[in-house]
Amino acid sequence: MKKTMALLFTVGFVVVGACSAPEEFGLVECNPDPFAVYNRCVDPEPDAGTDAADAGDDGDLGLDATASNEDPTSCQGGAGRCVPVPEGGEQQAGLWSKEPIALLVATTPKKGDPPLVCPPGMVEQFRLHADLDAPPAECEPCECGPSSGTCTELPASIEVRAGTCAESGVMSVPFDGPAGWDGSCTSANALPAGADCGGEPCAQSVVVSALPGPTTEEPCQPVKATPDFTTKTEWKTAMLGCTANLDDDSCNSTKKSCVADPGLPYLQCVHREGTFSPEDCPMNYRFAWYVGSPEDVIDDRGCEDCACGPPEGGGCKASIRLYNDEACTSQFEQGGLASGYEKCINVVTPGRAIGAKAITDLEYVPGACASGGGTPRGLAAEDASRAVTFCCLYSLYIDIQ
């Protein structure tokens, strides 16, 4: 048989895992035992000698090379194509499907694009996916509420000084409340107007020691125990397997099957449930190899629980009030008190009477807590228990003469 030059046609499949398909176009000689032979790969007028003898030997596919005006691999009046049954391989070929299906492997249609559909006359047998894009969950930042606490203790001491707040080393007299004082109005240690302290008016400033810290303090609580999160789950590759019912006996061979063949970019592939390597494919179905999975995935992505660190900045605050009279009806000064800070108040009109005092508005100031936790956890993966492996026959030759 005369050999002519032909172009091996391949398409831009997105291959899952390893694939033995060529990556480039290349000129090759016509295969004497190809999957599909077009007319110009067969002598239009075969020689009566050696070629005629060879014509009866159809090799692996049982091709009739004398059929110059018909595709010798077609069946069912051209509606189908004769392809070999799977043979050889490390795994028993009989474990794979006996007949191949037409498999289309393409980029997954984007939202709004038309879906992949089988050619007319064929029905869908598989709709699977590969190349899963499912990054970890995106967790919203954790937030902590304020701490909580109670304040009940009063300053340890109150003094009246014979000097302003800016002066040091001056004489002072006690101005504390009574034993067990609860901060309510008291005239204990009151000073009359004109009280003298070593030649200086006593009532020039009032110093209050730091307010004690909280009696109790509870840690912050997360605003949400577990943060909200979003996930992305996309398949980059789609697989559509199509088939049609044809007469298996029309190829007149137990080593061949008549199958529907829509042509490229569809490939003829046998399949088997599970995940298998290319080396497990039948020897005559190793042109391309794919593993597909159902659209729904096993997904346990989420976020760790939020947590809060110890409170910082929490404390107590109050007000000290100074009165002219002993009944606390005529206030002349007021100052704020806080945990950890001494308070000094200058008395306007030095030497005036300080008849009473009171500490009011004692309350807890919430602290802030650093947030923690909320990190992504889990993953999304294909459901391997429902995976299907496809092993595909060599692609078609397309004559360029």
Question: Burial letters for 83-121: b for 16+ Cβ neighbours within 10 Å, e otherwise?
Answer: bbbbeebebebeebbebbbbbbbeebeeeeeeeeebeee
**Per mean pLDDT, which range of 84-98, 268-282, 303-317 is the poorest?**
84-98
Strand, coil or helix: what is 111? coil
Is the backbone peptide bond immediately before 265 cis, with ω within 30 degrees of 0? yes
Average pLDDT over residues 214-230: 95
**Per mean pLDDT, which range of 72-86, 206-220, 304-318 is the poorest?**
72-86
pLDDT at 79: 78
Asked if residue 108 has pLDDT above 80, the reply is yes
pLDDT band at 249 (very low <50, low <70, confident <90, very high): confident
DSSP secondary structure of 236-274: EEEEEEEE----GGGG--TTEEEEE---TT-EEEEEEES
Structure tokens at 112: 């709004």
Average pLDDT over residues 316-325: 96
Using CA of residue 116, residue 119, residue 124, residue 129, what is the dihedral sign?
A: negative
pLDDT band at 72 (very low <50, low <70, confident <90, very high): low
d(CA 349, CA 344): 16
d(CA 399, CA 201): 119
Average pLDDT over residues 54-61: 35
Yes or no: say if 400 and 282 are a contact pair by the CB < 8 Å rule: no
pLDDT at 95: 84
DSSP secondary structure of 162-186: SS-TT--S--EEE----TT--SS-B
pLDDT at 75: 84
pLDDT at 37: 32
**Per mean pLDDT, which range of 50-59, 224-233, 291-300, 335-344 is the poorest?**
50-59
Asked if residue 206 has pLDDT above 90, the reply is yes
pTM of this structure? 0.62
pLDDT band at 238 (very low <50, low <70, confident <90, very high): very high
Q: Note the pLDDT tens digit of each residue in 342-370.
A: 999 999 999 999 999 999 999 999 999 99
pLDDT at 89: 53
Residue 145 φ/ψ, nearest 5 degrees: -75, 175
pLDDT at 395: 58
DSSP secondary structure of 277-325: -GGGS-TT--SEEEEEB-SS-EE--EEPPEEE---BS-EEEEEEEEESS
Q: What is the mean pLDDT of the chain?
A: 81
DSSP secondary structure of 329-390: -SEEEEEEEEBTB-EEEEPSSTT--B-EEEEEEEEEE--B--EEE--EE--EE--GGG-EEE
From residue 314, alpha-carbon distances to 148, 159, 221 in Å are: 8, 27, 14
Yes or no: say if 272 and 388 are a contact pair by the CB < 8 Å rule: yes
3-state helix, strand, coil in the chain (%, to 5): 5, 35, 60
How many other C-beta atoms can be found within 10 angstroms of the C-beta atom of residue 234? Answer: 12
Structure tokens at 247: 């007469």
pLDDT at 163: 95
| DSSP 8-state code for residue 50 | H
How many other C-beta atoms can be found within 10 angstroms of the C-beta atom of residue 228? Answer: 11
pLDDT at 162: 95
Structure tokens at 335: 């100052």
For tokens 């399949």, what's the residue? 271
Q: Note the pLDDT tens digit of each residue in 1-23.
A: 332 222 233 333 333 333 333 33
Terminal Cα distance for the chain, rounded: 17
Angle at 273 between CA 382 and CA 396, to 5 degrees: 100
